[in-house]
Each structure stands twice: as C-alpha cells, then as structure tokens.
Amino acid sequence: MVKYKKILLKLSGEALAGDKKTGIDPATVSNICEAIKKLHEKDVRVAIVVGGGNFWRGRDGYTMERTTSDYMGMLATTINALALQEALEAKGVQTRVQTAIEMREIAEPYIKRKAIRHLEKNRVVIFGAGTGNPFFTTDTAAALRAAEIGAEVILLAKTIDGVYSADPKKDKTAEKYDKITYLDILNKDLKVMDSTATSLCRDNNIPLVVFGIDEPENMVKIIEGENIGTIVE
Ligand code: GTP
C-alpha cells in the first residue's frame, strides 16, 4: 500500500551536482534515479520538475536583463531534464521529457493531456524549462504542473531535511517542524518556496512534503507513509 499514487517530485538543480555543487555528478544522479525507480515499481505515477541552479544561478555580477537570465535558467533546467531522462532509462524506467518552451528536436512540447496520458502508461514525465515564462521560479512550475496533472502531493527535495523555524546553519535554536500550514509559511516568511508557488499550492489544496535529498531513499519512505521531513498542508 502506498500513501500517494500520483506525485510531483521537485528536484533542485543543485541536487544533481552532489558535493561538486555545480554541473552534474553521475553517481548522485544515479542514486536519485534508483529511488525514483523504486517509486515507479510501486506503481506510483511520478512527474518531475527540475531546477537549473547547478548550471546557472542567475545574473548576479552580470549586467543583463532579468528576462535573459531567466531564459538561461530555463535552458539549464532542460539540460538537467535530459540528464535525468538518460539516467532513468539506463535503469529501465520509461520516461518522456516535455518542455515549456518548444524545442521540438530535443523533446516534446508541454501538453497537459499528453503528460497525463504518459503517466497513465506508467512513464515518468520530466518537465523542463520551468513555466516557460521569466519571473517565475521552478518551484512555481512544480506547483503549476502538480495542479494541472492532479498530483496528490509535491515532494520538495532540499539539501536540508525539513522546514525549520530559522536557518539551522546560523541559528542553533532553530526547530524543525513536523507539520505546518501554508499560511504559517507566508506569515512567518519561512522561505520554503517563493510566495507565488506557496499561494498556488495553498489555493489548490496540494500538500507538500519537504525532505532531505541527501538520502534519496527518503522518497520511498514518504510514499510508504513514514513521517519524514515536514508536511505542509
Ligand atoms: P503514446 O502514443 O501515448 O504511447 O505516446 P508516445 O510518446 O509513445 O508516442 P509518440 O509517437 O508521441 O512519441 C514517440 C517518441 O517520440 C517518444 O519518445 C516521444 O518522447 C518522442 N516525441 C514525441 N513528440 C516529440 C516532439 O515533438 N519532439 C521530440 N523531440 N520528440 C517527440
């Protein structure tokens, strides 16, 4: 028995970089994909939104328009989507990549009904290029796609193992929450996701589980109903 049958997994770009912090670490990607394969074997429908911060962290230090910087980020997410596709298929997991900006030679364009069809056929669907619009984060893309495909939950992979009252690296008194509401996140400005993504999840009643990706097996435990990380409802 699994707790959720259709999930949206949000991976940051950095999650794919491992200790290198930049680029793609094959062993790290392989570990993450091994856990995704286990979800797949449990008949969980898995859609993925991946970030791009391992290749492009924004325009800091560069003179450029926000829009240009954001488009560069969307291209970075597409690189990561292709890397995940290859790693999953090497493990025998069928996948489809869909991008929010058309790049037909590289991947399918995002079509909601086709994405749902792929999920029904038990293919892992990987969404690249964020929402396709500048000024939106990949967290917002995750919230949007989760709402569109009717995901029961978003699994938000972080380098930290849940939501804390303050930054535990800076504040020793920071406490981890087991459960919290979207309103708390907005009111306490907890920086779990940006406010657009948070509002989108809240308005559409999509729960979120924030967990540490250092142990990819956490995903499997969450699906099996273990209380890992922080649940946001
Ligand atoms: P079903 O017909 O529902 O089984 O889906 P399918 O994805 O197997 O069928 P389709 O014929 O659409 O796709 C066959 C292959 O071509 C898959 O690997 C798709 O990812 C790929 N594909 C489909 N459309 C595009 C596209 O616009 N661009 C690229 N690059 N690949 C595509």
Q: Is residue 1 part of a domain?
A: no
CB 127 within 8 A of CB 98: yes
Query: What is the best residue among 96, 97, 121 to mutate for testing ligand 1's pocket, by most ligand atoms within 8 Å of CB?
Result: 96
From ligand 1's centre to the CA of 195, what distance in Å? Answer: 35
| Predicted TM-score (pTM) of this structure | 0.96
Q: Is residue 178 part of a domain?
A: yes
Q: Is the pLDDT of residue 210 over 90?
A: yes
| Average pLDDT along the chain | 96
179-217 CB burial, b ≥16 within 10 A, e <16 = ebebeebeeeebebbeebbbbbbbeeebbbbbbebeebe
pLDDT at 167: 87
The total number of structural domains in the chain stands at: 1
pLDDT at 81: 98
Q: Is the pLDDT of residue 185 over 90?
A: yes
pLDDT at 58: 86
Please tell me if the CB atom of residue 170 comes closer than 6 angstroms to any atom of ligand 1: no
61 confidence band (pLDDT: 50, 70, 90): confident
Report the side by side order of strands in the sheet with 179-180: 108-109, 95-99, 124-128, 45-50, 6-11, 153-158, 208-212, 230-232, 179-180
Q: Is residue 72 part of a domain?
A: yes
Please tell me if the CB atom of residue 113 comes closer than 6 angstroms to any atom of ligand 1: no
From ligand 1's centre to the CA of 219, what distance in Å? Answer: 28
Give the closest residue (by CA) to ligand 1 atom 17: 96
pLDDT at 169: 86
pLDDT in tens, 16-56: 999 988 999 999 999 999 999 999 999 999 999 999 999 99
Identify the CATH number of the domain in which residue 174 sits: 3.40.1160.10
Domain encompassing residue 108: 6-232
pLDDT at 152: 98
pLDDT in tens, 1-11: 899 999 999 99
168 confidence band (pLDDT: 50, 70, 90): confident
From ligand 1's centre to the CA of 118, what distance in Å? Answer: 10
